[in-house]
Amino acid sequence: MSLQDPNSTTSATQGLVDFHCHLDLYPDLDSAIAECEQRGIYTLAVTTTPAAWSRNHELASTTKHVRAALGLHPQLVQERSSEIGLWESLLPEAKYVGEIGLDAGPRFYKSLELQIEIFRRILSACADAGGKILSVHSVRSAGKVIDLLERHLPADRGRAVLHWFTGSVSEARRAVSAGCYFSVNRMMLDRPNSRSVVESLPLERLLTETDGPFTAFGDRPSRPADVGTTVDELAGALGRRAADVRTLVSENLRRLLRDVGETS
C-alpha cells in the first residue's frame, strides 16, 4: 500500500449515499454498478418495471455497495398495470421497493385512479411482508401519497423514503410523523421553494440521491459520483460542514436499516 492514494477520486466518494438512481437506464448497467462499487457509493438502483428486477438484482447482489429495488413506476402504470402480478410474485426476493408512487402531473393525471389502485396494492403487499424500504415518487400528489402511506403502511411494517419531494412544509411534517425519510437531490436545492422545504426537514430523516440519469450535471446526465456535490449543497442549505452532513447521511441510512429490523 502506498502512502498516497493513487486514486483520490475513489476515496473522495467512499461512503456517499445515492438512494435513488436508475443505473439500468445508463448505457451499460454492469459498468454503472461496478463504478458505484469501486467508488464505495451506497447506491439504490431503482427500477421502473418488474421485468427489470432480475438482472439488476443479480448484478447488485454480488456487490457491497449497490442494492436493487423492485419497481413499477407510476408514469408507466397506464400501460403496465397488468405487471402488478409479476411485481407481487417477485416481492419476496426484494428488500427494497421502487420506483413506485403517484404522479398527478398533467401527462399522467388521467391514470391517477389506476395509479392509486396499484400503489395501494403495493403498500399492502409490503405491509404484509414487513421489513421493506420503499423509494416513493409523489409528483403533485404528496398529500395523497401520505394518506395512502398512513393507511396502508404502518411505520412498524416498513419505511418509505420520499424521493424528490415537492410537497409543502406542512405535508412534509405529516410525512415525518408517518415515519418517512427524504432523499434530496441537487434540483431540490436549486429551487428556492423546495430548498426551504428541505431546510424544514428533521436532520435525522435526510438522505441524498441523484435520480440519474433524469437530472443533469452540467451538460451530461448525473452519475452517482456526483452526489458529493449534493452533500455540499445540502450542507450549505443547513449551515453545516459538508463532512458533518456526509456523516449524518450515512448514519441516517444505517438507522433506516435498523428501523426495518436489519441488524448489521
Q: Which residue ranges make up the site for Mn ion (CB under 5 A)?
A: 99, 211
Instruction: State the nearest-atom distance from the C-beta of 22 to Mn ion, in Å.
Output: 6
Rounded Cα–Cα distance for residues 4 and 23 (Å): 31
Nearer to Mn ion, 145 or 248 (CB): 145
Least distance from C-beta 48 to Mn ion, angstroms?
8
Return d(Cα 258, Cα 47) in angstroms, integer. Answer: 24
For Mn ion, the closer of residues 99 and 103 by Cβ is 99
> What minimum distance in Å lies between the beta carbon of 19 and Mn ion?
11
Q: Which is nearer to Mn ion, 191 or 241 (CB)?
A: 191
Q: Please, what is the Cα angle at 155 between 49 and 160, to 5 degrees?
A: 30
85-88: list long-range contacts, CB under 8 Å, 24+ apart: 86/50, 86/51, 87/50, 87/122, 88/121, 88/125
Q: Name which of 64, 57, 62 is nearest 92 in CA terms.
A: 57
Q: Which residue is nearest to Mn ion (CB)?
A: 211
**Distances 71 to 20, 122, 134 between C-alpha atoms, Å:** 12, 10, 9
Counting beta carbons within 10 angstroms of the beta carbon of residue 15, is it exposed (0 to 12), middle (13 to 18) or buried (19 or more)?
A: middle
Q: Which residues contact 155 (CB under 8 A, 6 or more apart)?
A: 178, 179, 259
Nearer to Mn ion, 98 or 248 (CB): 98
Shortest reach from residue 159's CB to Mn ion, in Å? 18
Return the number of the residue (164 or 248) whose C-beta is nearest Mn ion: 164
CB of residue 75 vs Mn ion: minimum separation in angstroms?
Answer: 9
User: Nearer Cβ to Mn ion, position 76 or 248?
Assistant: 76
Residues 6+ apart with CB under 8 A from 11: 5
Q: Shortest Cβ distance from residue 67 to Mn ion (Å)?
A: 15
**Closer CB to Mn ion, 99 or 171, in the complex:** 99
The nearest distance, CB 91 to Mn ion, in angstroms, is 20
Q: How far apart are CA 43 and CA 1, in angstroms?
A: 27
165 is written with which cell numbers? 419531494
